[in-house]
């Protein structure tokens, strides 16, 4: 386990690092070197920050600082190549981060047969909190409850740990990030926003390759729209009317579908950008063609696309996965109404790595 009570460098902005170096009596260019070493070169220990003189590294250490890179406690590898990482932070808390080689789960492939090239394209699914407070009835993460928020440094750190483990060259490999792991990013908004800035400016992943998914924290959707640097937005719709959504996602009692859709309509989209709506299909619950028609009405006039996710099973959760025919019928109903609609291919279901399955399962015997 990493040491406790250390001050962590990861999470500090360029300005904050500059301030720190000034306090250490260092020339300004040292902050640029430290920033580069931490985020672009992803050095994992002070000893490895070899672009800094030994005396400075020692000074940083005696002042109580460490890099603060989380460690990889476990790896689970799926038959489809997906890897679920159990990432451990300094206080011993863990979250999951999922590595999905070859794109974004196949939801919007270019139609060509993609060769199984060695990972020049991959998506990382990122956690923003340990557990989640939102309590969606179909989601395994909800069973953990909210254990704590991740700091900006921890949000970034889990990504760096995975990039290092996969030996990613950020200049030549195309990495997408989806903030769709454990937690509700918009209930840890400031740390999430800070992490995005560090990832864009420090690590070198453009925000155009990032998507954040929210269960519908309405005031934060509005705040998010005002940011100059922001990922794309996905909204977890998951129901076609208010009463159904209240049951599936209790948060709907606070922020009704009407308020959520109003925020979506007001959301300032960039050139050629669309909102994404995710819709988990639960067999016999929200997956009828009538439900699809209601979704069409909800989305009328919006520049939107829909990602359908057939429910990923987990123990203790009383739903079923609809048949492929029912998924197809739902999809076709939306497509006929002119809404681009994709079915998200499940990734890593066999290792509990797929959407809604992240609850730190280590006993894989319970799968199936
Ligand atoms: N908390 C955020 C992001 C993480 S969840 C949110 O809810 O949007 C990412 C997606 O997985 C959400 O769209 C959610 O509705 C979906 N999901 C949750 N549990 C699922 C399950 N068991 N099967 C399929 N999708 C699920
Ligand atoms: Fe939290 Fe998202 Fe799961 Fe809902 S679906 S409980 S918001 S992680």
**Is residue 355 flagged as an active site residue?**
yes
Same domain, 217 and 151: yes
Q: Is the CB of 136 under 6 A from ligand 2?
A: yes
Residue 357 lies in a domain: no
| Structure tokens, 123 | 């998506």
Higher pLDDT, 367 or 246: 246
Please report, for residues 107, 164, 363, the alpha-carbon distance to residue 68 in angstroms, rounded to integers and kept in the order given: 35, 14, 28
Q: Residue 139 Cα, ligand 1 centroid: separation in angstroms?
A: 6
Q: Is the CB of 184 under 6 A from ligand 2?
A: yes
SS3 assignment, position 11 = coil
| Chain position carrying tokens 């962590």 | 8
Residue 247 lies in a domain: yes
Please report, for residues 161, 236, 269, the alpha-carbon distance to residue 228 in angstroms, rounded to integers and kept in the order given: 27, 23, 12
Tens-digit pLDDT profile for residues 201-219: 999 999 999 999 999 999 9
Distance of CA 37 to the CA centre of its chain: 24
Radius of gyration of the chain (CA): 21
Ligand 2: nearest atom to the Cα of 213: 2
What pTM did the predictor assign? 0.93
**What is the chain's mean pLDDT, rounded?**
92
Same domain, 125 and 257: yes
Residue 142 lies in a domain: yes
One of 125, 132, 136, 355 is an active-site residue; which one? 355
279 beta partners: 308
| Structure tokens, 199 | 């990832």
Same domain, 227 and 312: yes
One of 8, 96, 154, 207 is an active-site residue; which one? 96
Q: Which long-range contacts link 23-29 to residues 24+ away (Cβ below 8 Å)?
A: 24/56, 24/59, 24/60, 24/63, 26/56
| Structure tokens, 222 | 């509005």
Same domain, 139 and 94: yes
Same domain, 172 and 58: no
Q: Is the pLDDT of residue 182 over 90?
A: yes
Q: How many whole angstroms separate alpha carbon 244 and alpha carbon 309? A: 17
Q: Is the CB of 280 under 6 A from ligand 1?
A: yes
Number of domains in the chain: 2
Q: Residue 1 Cα, ligand 2 centroid: separation in angstroms?
A: 28
Same domain, 41 and 182: no
Please report, for residues 57, 139, 307, the alpha-carbon distance to residue 323 in angstroms, rounded to integers and kept in the order given: 58, 19, 17
Q: How many whole angstroms separate alpha carbon 123 and alpha carbon 351? A: 17
Residue 360 lies in a domain: no
CATH of the domain at 52: 1.10.150.530
DSSP state of 23: H
Ligand 1: nearest atom to the Cα of 357: 22
SS3 assignment, position 120 = coil
Same domain, 247 and 307: yes
Q: Is the CB of 236 under 6 A from ligand 1?
A: yes
Tens-digit pLDDT profile for residues 30-57: 999 999 999 999 999 999 999 999 999 9
| For ligand 2, mutation pick of 130, 132, 309 (most atoms within 8 Å of CB) | 132
Residue 39 in contact with residue 198, Cβ under 8 Å?
A: yes
Residue 1 lies in a domain: no
Residue 145 lies in a domain: yes
**Is residue 125 flagged as an active site residue?**
no
Q: Which long-range contacts link 56-65 to residues 24+ away (Cβ below 8 Å)?
A: 56/24, 56/26, 56/30, 59/24, 60/9, 60/24, 63/7, 63/24, 64/6, 64/7, 65/6, 65/7, 65/8, 65/9
The pLDDT value given to residue 6? 75
The pLDDT value given to residue 117? 42
Closest CA to 266 of 292, 227, 302: 302
Same domain, 286 and 170: yes
Same domain, 58 and 75: no
113 burial level (CB within 10 Å; 0-12, 13-18, 19+): exposed
| Structure tokens, 46 | 């002070």
Residue 229 in contact with residue 200, Cβ under 8 Å?
A: yes
Q: Is the CB of 142 under 6 A from ligand 2?
A: yes
Q: Is the CB of 355 under 6 A from ligand 1?
A: yes
Q: Residue 286 Cα, ligand 2 centroid: separation in angstroms?
A: 17
Residue 366 lies in a domain: no
Same domain, 151 and 129: yes
Closest CA to 9 of 73, 63, 87, 50: 63
Distance of CA 127 to the CA centre of its chain: 5
CATH of the domain at 205: 3.20.20.70
Provide the residue range defining the domain that includes 12. 7-66
Residue 191 lies in a domain: yes
Tens-digit pLDDT profile for residues 130-171: 999 999 999 999 999 999 999 999 999 999 999 999 999 999
Same domain, 124 and 222: yes
Same domain, 36 and 83: no
């Amino acid at each position: 386990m990493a040491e406790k009570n250390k001050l962590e460098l990861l999470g500090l902005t360029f300005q904050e690092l500059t301030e720190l170096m000034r306090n250490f009596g260092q020339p300004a260019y040292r902050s640029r070197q430290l920033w580069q070493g931490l985020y672009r070169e992803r050095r994992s220990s002070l000893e490895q920050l070899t672009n800094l003189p030994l005396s400075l590294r020692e000074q940083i250490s005696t002042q109580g600082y460490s890099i603060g890179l989380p460690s990889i406690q476990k790896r689970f590898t799926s038959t489809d190549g997906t890897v679920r990482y159990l990432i451990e932070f300094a206080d011993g808390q863990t979250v999951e981060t999922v590595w999905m080689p070859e794109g974004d789960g196949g939801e919007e492939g270019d139609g060509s047969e993609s060769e199984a090239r060695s990972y020049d394209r991959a998506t990382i699914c990122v956690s923003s909190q340990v557990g989640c407070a939102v309590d969606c009835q179909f989601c395994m993460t909800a069973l953990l409850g909210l254990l704590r928020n991740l700091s900006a440094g921890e949000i970034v750190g889990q990504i760096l740990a995975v990039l290092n483990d996969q030996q990613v060259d950020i200049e030549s490999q195309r990495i997408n990030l989806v903030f769709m792991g454990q937690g509700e990013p918009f209930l840890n908004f400031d740390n999430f926003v800070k992490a995005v800035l560090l990832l864009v400016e420090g690590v070198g992943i453009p925000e155009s390759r990032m998507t954040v998914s929210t269960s519908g924290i309405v005031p934060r959707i509005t705040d998010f729209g005002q940011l100059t640097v922001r990922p794309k937005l996905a909204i977890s719709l998951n129901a076609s009317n208010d009463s159904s959504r209240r049951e599936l996602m209790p948060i709907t009692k606070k922020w009704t579908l009407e308020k959520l859709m109003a925020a979506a309509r007001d959301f300032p989209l960039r050139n050629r950008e669309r909102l994404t709506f995710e819709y988990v299909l639960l067999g016999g619950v929200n997956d009828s063609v009538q439900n699809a028609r209601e979704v069409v009405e909800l989305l009328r006039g919006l520049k939107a696309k829909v990602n359908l996710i057939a429910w990923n099973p987990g123990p203790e959760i009383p739903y079923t996965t609809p048949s492929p025919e029912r998924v197809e019928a739902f999809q076709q109903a939306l497509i006929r109404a002119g809404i681009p609609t994709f079915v998200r291919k499940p990734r890593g279901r066999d290792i509990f790595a797929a959407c809604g399955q992240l609850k730190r399962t280590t006993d894989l015997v319970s799968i199936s």
